[in-house]
Homo-oligomer: A and B are copies of this chain.
Amino acid sequence: MARVKVIGVAGYSGSELARLLIQHPNVESILLIDRRAEEPTPIWKYRANLRGTTDQMVVGKDDGSKADAVFFATPDGVTMNHAKEHLDTGAKVIDFSGDTRLRSAEIHQKWYGIEHASPNLLQEAVYGLPELHREELRKANVIANPGCYPTATILGFAPMVKKGWIDTSFLVADVKSGVSGAGKHLNTRMHFAECEANFNAYKVVGHKHTPEIEQELSLLAGEDLTVNFIPHLLPVTRGILATLYSTLTEDLSIDQIQAEYESFYESHPFVRVLPQGEEACLKAVQGSNFLDISVHVDSRNSRLIVTVTEDNLVKGASGQAVQNMNLALGFEETAGLMQPGLWL
């Protein structure tokens, strides 16, 4: 049984994490922390649906108690300055921010625009995609929970890049995300009246999730590669759909490719490679930790087209963090994560 802390619980991914931890069978105590809580406040003040299901309070400051795992559901720049104090107590640190995702302090500085305060964290951290790094995660002390966009993009390309079956000089990821991915922060673009029935691309070049996608796929390819990652904002609260494009380098049938995806993810309980003819869609994953993949080939020009869906707040953030905690603390990988969502 584990004692855990969540720092930054009032945000969207923080409170989603609280929802999952409260129902987790291996978690015995939870300390919910957010500096926005001026006094101890029931968690259901931030998520009214939790009223009547839990007595958990949110406090403004850490009480210094010992924990087995500490989640940083905080903006960029916090973990790099505060991870150490928790690591020193023996806690595992699971970081939701960009502070630990890149292995190179130089690349970090280039994309995030600030100097890294603890470059050694970058060396110590394991990138928290269990489907690629399961064994390392079992032993990790610092886990870099991936961005929501990279989770879908990397897992969609991974089997082909690893196998060397696609042209890594043309990797395009056209990715569409629900609004909760941008967090609780207020701006005009998130006003219901501006967002409803709207749709657009943004940060078409230079989104800061790009380097972690490139880092992980380069690792799989065994060579440096670039990815064109183009995010779009859907008028939907939850969910990401990535449509991925590349070209087959060999004369491969759709059946061979389908088989390769199925084999690659065979031992991974949260990845569902859909049968030919079924399309990944948001409703099938909203509220759950599943990630769905549909594979297609246009044989006229050997184009590979892969669609991937996930819930950006679950497999794209808090569910994946729990999956990482399960590995790091020696629990069942699926513990507390098999709820299927609602569909309607």
Residues of A within 8 A of B (CB): 12, 15-16, 19, 23, 47-54, 169-170, 172, 174, 176, 178-180, 184, 186-188, 190-202, 204-205, 226, 228, 230, 232, 234-239, 241, 243, 245, 247, 269, 272, 279-288, 290, 294, 296-298, 300-301, 303, 305, 307, 309, 313, 338-344
A235 touches B237 (CB 8 A): no
Q: How far is the CB of A310 from chain B (nearest CB, A)?
A: 12
Could you say how many copies of this chain the assembly holds?
A: 4
Measured between alpha carbons, how far is A30 from B294 in the docked complex, in Å?
A: 30
Q: Is the CB of B236 within 8 A of A197?
A: yes
- Residues from chain B with a CB closer than 8 A to the CB of A239 are 197, 199
Given A191-B184, A288-B49; A281-B176 close (CB under 8 Å): no
Contact B200 A197 (CB under 8 A): no
Q: Would you call B342 and A228 a contact (CB within 8 A)? A: no
Additional 11 contacts, C-beta under 8 A, given A19-B342, A198-B283: A49-B285, A49-B290, A178-B193, A190-B191, A196-B197, A200-B279, A200-B281, A200-B309, A234-B235, A235-B235, A313-B344
Q: Are A190 and B187 in contact (CB under 8 A)?
A: no
Contacts of A287 in B (CB 8 A): 49, 287, 342
- Distance from A273 Cβ to chain B, minimum over Cβ atoms (Å): 11
CA distance in complex: A303, B283 (Å): 32
Please provide the 3 A-B residue pairs with the shortest distance between their CB atoms, ordered closest to farther.
A200-B281, A48-B284, A192-B195
Known: A197-B286, A282-B197, A305-B228. Contact between A186 and B176, CB under 8 A? no
User: Whole-angstrom distance from the CB of A139 to the nearest CB of chain B?
Assistant: 28
A198 cross-chain contacts in B, Cβ below 8 A? 236, 281-283
Q: Which residues from B are CB-within-8-Å of A300?
A: 226
Report the minimum CB–CB distance from A298 to chain B (whole Å): 5
Residues of B within 8 A of A54 (CB): 340
Chain B residues with Cβ below 8 Å from A243 are 174, 201, 230, 232
Kindly identify which residue among B15, B52, B192, B290 contacts A272, using a CB–CB cutoff of 8 Å: B52
Inter-chain contact B269/A237, CB cutoff 8 Å: no
Give 6 A-B contacts (CB < 8 Å), ordered by A residue: A15-B343, A47-B344, A192-B237, A199-B236, A199-B281, A201-B294
